[in-house]
Amino acid sequence: MSTFPIYRPRRLRANENLRRLVRETELSVNDLIYPMFVVHGNDTATEISAMPGCYQYTVDRLVPAAKELATLGIPGTILFGVPASKDPLGTEAYAEDGIIQQAVRAIKDTVPDLLVITDVCLCEYTDHGHCGVIEANEVQNDPTLELLVKESLTHARAGADVIAPSDMMDGRIGAIRDALDENGYQNIPIMAYAAKYASAFYGPFREAAESAPQFGDRRSYQMDPANAEEALREVALDIQEGADILMVKPALPYLDVIHRVKTEFQVPVAAYNVSGEYAMIKAAAQNGWIDEKRVALEALTSIKRAGADMILTYFAKSVVEWI
């Protein structure tokens, strides 16, 4: 490559048309998945205090919200449920008429073109708030798999388009893939939360999904933020077990992990721009300290530049407005 003064990088930055022509990464509506929270009840949308602009919807209010996403051209939503009551085994997670199962049916009935992805986990449904079955004060891996399989099948029967296990139990992708296949759901893709870190950035979500652990933390099943090679092993396992889309979560503090997953595996990569990442930008913007639109677009573009093919983000609707 020639050097200064022959090569002057500023030449191609001189005006917007040149910048458009050499731009390497473009954020598009095609990249976006919008997460929504659903609760029991009627005609209610309760704003989540640490996530301005995001709501817990009752099913009747969720449907118009889903319609809005389709109208905006957003390809899909991922749904999280808050049950009527919680118990040690998270029973409502795999009830045929549980909150998510009802929500999926209602959306697929009225907005069939919107992709409905369901988060498969137990933490919103268990009274202890952990993502699996507890015995002797520990989350038990293999007994949890059976419940995750049941949950996935009820989601599939309700009409879910994509199943997204977020529990981080070992072996759950294989167990869920086998069960889906045996029950005639060979064509339902699995979006695996493959490299999911034990992150403090989930704080606002736990208010939204009412899913904070009641004792201890999630560090015996979610990953240590210090580890990247381990993320590659997790992703490799999930690919072997049949995952179709591999997720890294959170996104911004883990851009290196997104990049390494994309470079090493060449698979569809999803990144979850989580609740805390959203809340920080919202809070700073509300204080007038940063420009929300520019900061959010910069952050989301960086996630794509790192290698993500799709982004789960609470900014999805705003992005469509902005771009």
Residues that bind ligand PBG (CB under 6 A): 119, 121, 123, 131, 166, 202, 205-206, 218, 274-275
**Residue 317 annotated among the catalytic residues of the structure:** no
In one letter, which amino acid is 275? S
Question: Would you say 183 or 216 has its CB closer to ligand PBG?
Answer: 216
Please report, for residues 5, 20, 21, 25, the alpha-carbon distance to residue 14 in angstroms, rounded to integers and kept in the order given. Answer: 16, 11, 12, 18
Question: Would you say 101 or 275 has its CB closer to ligand PBG?
Answer: 275
CB of 121 to ligand PBG, least distance (A): 4
192's torsion region: left (phi>0), alpha (psi -120 to 50) or beta? Answer: beta
176's tokens: 């869920």
CB of 80 to ligand PBG, least distance (A): 7
Question: Would you say 102 or 275 has its CB closer to ligand PBG?
Answer: 275
Question: Would you say 75 or 250 has its CB closer to ligand PBG?
Answer: 250
Residue nearest ligand PBG, Cβ-based: 205
CB of 35 to ligand PBG, least distance (A): 6
**Residue 196 annotated among the catalytic residues of the structure:** yes
Please list, residue by residue across 11-39, b when 16 or more beta carbons sit within 10 angstroms of its beta carbon and e when fewer do: eeeeeeeeeeeeeeeebeeebbbbbbbbb
Please report, for residues 62, 134, 163, the alpha-carbon distance to residue 118 in angstroms, rounded to integers and kept in the order given. Answer: 14, 23, 5
Question: Would you say 190 or 274 has its CB closer to ligand PBG?
Answer: 274
Question: Would you say 109 or 224 has its CB closer to ligand PBG?
Answer: 224
CB of 78 to ligand PBG, least distance (A): 8
Residues 6+ apart with CB under 8 A from 163: 117, 118, 120, 152, 155, 156, 176, 180, 188, 189, 190, 191
CB of 10 to ligand PBG, least distance (A): 39
Q: Given the residues 86, 150, 196, 304, select the one marked as catalytic.
A: 196
So which residues are the catalytic ones? 196, 249
